[in-house]
Chains A and B, each alone.
Chain A
Amino acid sequence: MDINIHDFYRKMEQDNIMLSFKGNVTSELLTSVLQIMESKMEKLNEPNRIKKKVYNILVEALQNLYHHLDKQPDGAPQGHNTVIFMIGKKGEAYTIYTGNYITNDNAEKLKLRLEKINSLDTDELKTYYKEVLNNGMMSNKGGGGLGMIDIARKSGQQLDFDFQKVDEKFSFYSLNINVPQ
């Protein structure tokens, strides 16, 4: 047997993964995942403040994955439509992990944006958010580039990202979002 599911399970237990998913992201899936996480946090008696923070950040992170699917160029290998995400809790802090394929061109642009966000302090992020909100172009999906700024603001943490080049065309983009209490 190539895959030992018990090993997978143990690894996830060790890392306190509460929920994981690999596959295609649909609107219905996101609705279910959000409901599951909301009731899990309810059961854990999380303070309202934390529940809201994690929920908000989760919405942005998962909707980023959802919108990303539209951006795949024609002829992209089929598996490149699938994404992975996991939600874990270690001690008091939540971590949201996401991973998806991205074209190398888009990876370069995204990397610059993420580096810019990481270079800003709390007040600068607030100003930048308002700037993009007020002057930024609205994409047809309505996202308009605010999602990552919002995640950085609400988590109060640096964005922990990585791009692994897989071939001439694609990279794999990983993002870990830490949400401390």
Chain B
Amino acid sequence: MENLVIEGSPKTPTIKFNPEEGKLLIQGRSIPENSIDFYKPLVDSLEAYTEAVKEATKVDIVLEYFNTSSSKCILDVFKKLEKINEAGGGVTINWHYEEDDEDMLEAGEDYQAIINIPFKMVEIEEGE
């Protein structure tokens, strides 16, 4: 399987998915008007990865902002990860949030309540 790399823009995050190493990173801002098209390549890659899972799959979500249009797509990504986890992919999700960003922490907790994968809330300290 090939790596998926999408460079970030003012309204879309950087996405790096390395199926060989079982690593996924989503980092930056996710506030496009239409999110479905943007997330489709990742959702498709994860679908393919379900057939070729690694024992450990490490996911890092480092979002500064995301809009509600993205929130459903991010849930779709997590639902794919849930399947990968069930297929033996040993998924861990690190949800990063800035120390004073309660809204982002709460958003992570919302997903945690819906998705059956262990979440780790990781506080980003100022200046990092």
Chain A at the B interface: SS class: helix
Question: How many residue pairs, one in A and one in B, have C-beta atoms under 8 Å apart?
Answer: 76
Asked if A133 meets B101 with Cβ closer than 8 Å, knowing A138-B36, A142-B34, A146-B68, the reply is: no
Q: How far is the CB of B9 from chain A (nearest CB, A)?
A: 10
Q: How far is the CB of B61 from chain A (nearest CB, A)?
A: 15
| A 103-135 binary contact with B (CB < 8 Å = 1; else 0) | 000000000000000000000001001100110
Assembly CA distance A27 to B11 (angstroms)? 10
Q: How far is the CB of B65 from chain A (nearest CB, A)?
A: 6
Q: How far is the CB of B71 from chain A (nearest CB, A)?
A: 6
Assembly CA distance A124 to B68 (angstroms)? 18
Asked if A141 meets B103 with Cβ closer than 8 Å, knowing A48-B98, A67-B33, A133-B75, the reply is: no
Contacts of B114 in A (CB 8 A): 130, 133-134
Q: Which of B11, B68, B103, B110 contacts A147 (CB 8 A)?
A: B68
Using a CB–CB cutoff of 8 Å, the interface residues on chain A facing chain B are: 27, 30-31, 34-35, 47-49, 52-53, 55-56, 59-60, 63, 66-67, 126, 129-130, 133-134, 136, 138, 140-144, 146-147, 149-150, 154
| Contacts A/B (CB < 8 Å), 14 sampled | A34-B31, A52-B104, A53-B103, A56-B65, A63-B33, A66-B33, A126-B106, A130-B113, A130-B114, A133-B72, A133-B114, A134-B75, A147-B68, A150-B71
